[in-house]
Amino acid sequence: MCGENKFSAGAVVVSFLLGGAVGAGLAVLLTPKSGPETREAIKQQADTVKNEALRIADELKAKAEELVEKSKDLVEQKKAILESALEAGKEAMEREKERLLSKVKKETEEEA
């Protein structure tokens, strides 16, 4: 495990997008074109990168919302289990209390 680098999916996607944008920008700048052509190519590339970033952001948001909902459901399930276990424990304690009281009462009657 030592020495392993772990990156989140979001970090990898952002890195990929930035690398693509830089590469595309360099390609546009290094290709022999007139000033207006170069500016238009840069604008188009920027729009493409922007739209892709927005699409990925929407996907990540949707996945985050899905995870939040799943987490809420899991918490509700665990809460219900704990409440059930607590109620069962209370009932068992009450039964044991009644049994012990009955036993003490019976022993007291026998002594008298």
Tens digit of each residue's pLDDT (9 = 90 or more) over 27-61: 766 777 677 887 887 788 888 888 888 888 898 89
Whether residue 1 lies inside any domain: the answer is: no
pLDDT of 2 > 80? The answer is no
Q: Work out how many domains the chain is built from and give that number.
A: 1
Average pLDDT over residues 73-101: 93
Mean pLDDT for the chain?
Answer: 83
Q: Which residue has the tokens 């918490």?
A: 75
Whether residue 4 lies inside any domain: the answer is: no
Domain limits at 45?
A: 9-111
What pLDDT is stored for residue 1 in this prediction?
45
Whether residue 87 lies inside any domain: the answer is: yes
Asked whether the beta carbons of 56 and 17 are under 8 A apart, the reply is yes
Whether residue 3 lies inside any domain: the answer is: no
**CA angle, 82 as apex, 78 and 86 as ends, to 5°?**
170
d(CA 50, CA 67): 26
What is the token pair recorded at 46? 């920027």
Entry pTM: 0.48
Whether residue 75 lies inside any domain: the answer is: yes
Quickly list H helices, 1-112: 9-30, 35-111
